[in-house]
Structure 1
Amino acid sequence: MNDRRCFETLDRSLRDLFDCQAKPFGRKSVLLGGDFRQTLPIIQGASKSTILASSLPRSYLWNNFKVYKLTKNMRLQRPNITSAEQNLISEFSSWLVSIGDGDIGTPDMSDPQDIKLIRIPDQYLIPYTDNALTELIRLIYDNDTLKNPDATTLSRKAIVCPTNNMVHEINSMVLDMAAGPTKTYTSIDSVVPHPGDNTDIDVLYPVEYLNLLNFNGLPTHVLELKFNSPVVLLRNLNPKDGLCNGTRLIVTQLLPAIVEVQIMTGKFIGRKVYIAKISLTYKDKELPFELKRKQFPLRLCYAMTINKSQGQSLDKIGLYLPQPIFSHGQLYVALSRATTPHSLKIVIVPHGDDDAALTKNIVYSDFLKEIDSTAN
């Protein structure tokens, strides 16, 4: 939502399409929805100024938008909740907004402007021990869920953490706990040399090495699945029918060349579709080749990264922090997936003598105040 390049490309296309070069979006009205408290465009190794420069408010289009802010907390409008529950939800929502705005916490000496240390209230914490992660998993995915999983239950639960490496570890742990046999699918990996490269690249980078490579947005070489395990789609296959990058699905059949899945989220809930292996490529300027991987564009999603969880509303959410979050809005995104204060549990892994109830919160408060100044 925040990447200005997408909207500038749309703007130029609509101006050309409707032969109206003088008016933004070809004189068409454009309505956007989002929250700048959430994560900003992801640019590997970029500085704060570079990240902000790529965001929508830094676009030439920004002055043409009018900003309106929502003011009513719809969570408090639920029927059949008591006044005590309303007060609890109201306090929880105010706490989340304070974290999103960067208004609470102690400035961190490494970057006092943008980083604050937040003390997590005890009611949300699982005290850290060697078994804290297993306890968190058991709390989110209880025995009944693991033995009798269904789309409705799984769509309302998740564990989130900052990095993909930790996501893979948690997914493997939960899959081992789940009932039923495991079916393993392996990818076919190859390299595409850069133009003009005359080196015998297949000798330099054998298949065994390529199989070990894992990158964000790319399925793993080994994909292990079980009947009724939740997965997330890694590519836009058919957006018109609900098959978008980030769509959560549940496995309903494991066939030799095809996986049958059922959509768990969005307006196409319940629809069954078939997923085949496709060829995906990964380019990186630091790699001397382009990796080509033929695999199902799926990944287990008992756990997911904080960034991938944006847009989800969950009845049970576990936040696992083996290390602090590392970019603007990540802590707010993770905590605000919870629909009630009772649905959230957090494990913070302390390092050395660190307080196990403290964690970092990164918020570009100056950027948010700039946005607020343009709101109506």
Structure 2
Amino acid sequence: MRVDEDGLMYSRFLIDVGEDKLQKNNNGEIELPKDMVLPFRRIEDSLDFIYPSFENSAELFSKNCVLVPVNESVRNIISICIRRFLGNMEENCSFNSVCDGTNATHFPIEFLDSLEMSGLPPHKLELKKGSPIMMMRNLDPPRLCNGTRLITEELHKNLLVGKIITSAFKDEIVLIPRVKFILSENDGIPLQRMQFPVQSCFAMTIKHKGKQWTMF
């Protein structure tokens, strides 16, 4: 369903879903109102409707967003969209290690590379020139904050050049370096990951809401 910034009822519905306030059937499912359901059964067909073309990507991705309930769905949609996007794929792999070197033998690098956790950028960040990204950390407030959306302009080994497409700093060109993400033992694994603090944002989980977007 498409909504604009005045779609208060739809925004309320999204909040209720996120806070688990809506009635469910015996299978634990929420029945959606018919006017919120797209007439497609395949995710590829839905994406064709939502993103009919990736031309003028800055305008498209500053106003449109696919919201899904879980990170697995986000990764699936990103994988489909980034391969449809024109241009050469750049794979930016992170550098992973454990915080305490004495435990390094307990956590092989292959295992650390495989970790996908909320709030942590992926080990293999696949991007193309012109593809949309979103900040995952406050890097230079108020210009670059968690949630700021950008378009990828240039990709280098340790530097990403992006153009802001939202907020008062729209159209500004910014430089984004790799930064260190640290998980403590309280998170289960004492991981250190050096990666760009961004993620592709063809889709995002439902907790990321924005009144300025057209949401699906």
Task: Sort the TM-score into its range (normalised by shorter chain).
Answer: 0.7 to 0.9
Provide, for residues 28-86 of structure 1, a one-character-per-residue CA deviation record: whole Å limited to 9, x for no partner: xxxxxxxxxxxxxxxxxxxxxxxxxxxxxxxxxxxxxxxxxxxxxx84xxxxxxxxxxx
AA at the equivalent of 1:124: M
Kept after mapping to 2: 8 A contact 1:228/1:250: yes
- Report which of the two has the higher share of strand: 2
SS in 2 for 1:250: strand
Please state how far the C-alpha of 1:227 moved relative to its aligned partner.
0.5
Q: Percent identity?
A: 28
TM-score, normalised on structure 2? Answer: 0.85
For residue 79 of structure 2, what is the aligned residue in structure 1? 172
Deviation at 1:150, TM superposition (A): 2.9
Corresponding residue SS for 2:117: coil
Normalising by structure 1, we get a TM-score of 0.50
Higher mean C-alpha displacement, 255-264 vs 277-286: 277-286
Matched, 1:155 2:62: yes
CA distance change for structure 1 residues 312 and 221 in 2, over 3 Å: closer, same or farther?
farther
Confirm or deny: 8 A CA contact 1:106 1:116 kept in the other structure.
no
Distance apart, 1:274 and its partner CA: 0.6
State the partner residue of 1:186.
93
Structure 1 equivalent of residue 50 of structure 2: 140
1:203-242 to 2 correspondence within 5 Å?
203-240=105-142, 242=143
State the Cα deviation string for residues 224-243 of structure 1 (Å, max 9, x = none): 10000000001000113x10
Q: What residue in structure 2 maps to residue 39 of structure 1?
A: none
Show the counterpart of 2:163: 262
Distance in 2 (CA, whole Å) between partners of 1:170 and 1:116 is: 21
Structure of higher RCO (CA pairs closer than 8 Å, 6+ residues apart): 2
Indicate the structure with greater helix content: 1
Q: Distance in 2 between matches of 1:311 and 1:94?
A: 14
**Which residue is equivalent to 1:14?**
none
One-letter amino acid of the counterpart of residue 243, structure 1: L
Cα distance between partner residues in 2 of 1:311 and 1:208: 36
Alignment correspondent of 1:201: 103
Give the aligned CA root-mean-square deviation in angstroms. Answer: 2.7
- Relative to structure 1, is the Cα distance of residues 255 and 117 closer, same or farther in structure 2, using a 3 angstrom cutoff? closer
How big is the shift at 1:95?
6.7
Greater Rg by CA: 1
Q: Offset at 1:166?
A: 1.2
- For this pair of structures, how many residues does the alignment match? 208
What is the alpha-carbon distance in structure 2 between the residues aligned to residue 185 and residue 101 of structure 1? 37
1:125 to 25, 37, 45: 37
